[in-house]
Structure 1
């Protein structure tokens, strides 16, 4: 997005527009409005500790190893979301993104990239769990599990890594391999690479969407669907 989503500050107009956007998306996704309103008071933007620096000139919105949700679309539209699995605004947006995947199945390519917020105690643990699952071809399954269960583990100080391991077991993953991948420094490095590239692209909060390489400024759900329809029409 061209406007930076920030934690509540004196600059109330951008924050208010973000709240309205995600409240609308959450309602479309079937979430209870009161719950959604509570989420937006905690919309996360500042990462706390800065990610490793990357030259903006070399930053790319999509990499060959970026995770695609489902099959790539045939149309001229690639929607990329930088997200934090513990971010409640991302959790509110999740049902809407799923509805978009259904609506534009076979047309739009949906890409997910990691941007864990340092202030979230289990954001990195969750991303590592998703990346470990990805090594067994189960990224989408873990992605869904983490968002569906977010209320059970989010905003807690103790490590939820053991719970994420239970999710891996429930998904039928090879736990020995999962444990090796979680412990492998390369797994966290993969997550931090996304985080650093997002920062180089100007991402400061989650969720942040890019369409065909351009960061989106969204004020309503229709803004996103209109942008997708326009991109597909150009193809």
Structure 2
């Protein structure tokens, strides 16, 4: 399966934004497997960040994970204040305690404008962004999280496999 739509300016990206190697993760903030992949992906970016453009797309499995969708919207709300990756990381680092109170506490710790953040959590525009990411995952053949795409093609493996692949190909 291939990635639909391809990576664009509306995506959350980090690393080398002009890199030839583009890795896309479809993730759910409450998914334990995504939580386990998070430190591996941090390691990957530490080691290969200058060679990789990393993209995160929301894929909240709301039926299984009560707080996945609100967490995704919270990360999008933080994005409006220039703190997407900080919120993304903070949620994963506190995943075990994930609930609405935690999201508020993290927003305060990130020194977000709280009245604005609370208003943005209610925004239909942000909910639509999360839904749009989710729909793109469905179109791309994502059936669980985390799911990875490398240069637009579905990668059949986990974060450890990704880091192994990079180490093999960059030596």
Q: With the length of structure 2 as denominator, give the TM-score of the two structures.
A: 0.90
Aligned partner (choices 58, 62, 66) of residue 114 of structure 1: 58
Aligned partner (choices 35, 42, 49) of residue 105 of structure 1: 49
Q: Does the C-alpha gap of structure 1 residues 151 and 210 become closer, same or farther in structure 2, counting only changes over 3 Å?
A: same
Give 1 or 2: higher strand fraction: 2
* 1:143 correspondence with 2:81: no
**Distance (whole Å) between structure 2 residues aligned to residue 106 and residue 220 of structure 1:** 18
| Aligned residue number for residue 121 of structure 2 | 182
**Distance (whole Å) between structure 1 residues aligned to residue 159 and residue 44 of structure 2:** 14
Structure 2 unmatched runs, 5+:
none
Query: Displacement, 1:61?
Result: 3.8
- Report runs of 4+ in structure 1 exceeding 3 Å deviation: 225-233
**Distance (whole Å) between structure 1 residues aligned to residue 168 and residue 17 of structure 2:** 15
Map 1:1-235 onto structure 2 (within 5 A): 59-69=4-14, 71-118=15-62, 119-153=64-98, 160-218=99-157, 221=160, 223-228=161-166
RMSD (Å) for aligned C-alpha atoms: 2.3
Q: Which protein, 1 or 2, shows the higher relative CO under an 8 Å CA cutoff with sep ≥ 6?
A: 2
The question of whether the paired residues in 1 share the 8 Å contact of 2:73 and 2:127 is answered with: yes
Structure with larger Rg = 1
Count of equivalent residues: 170
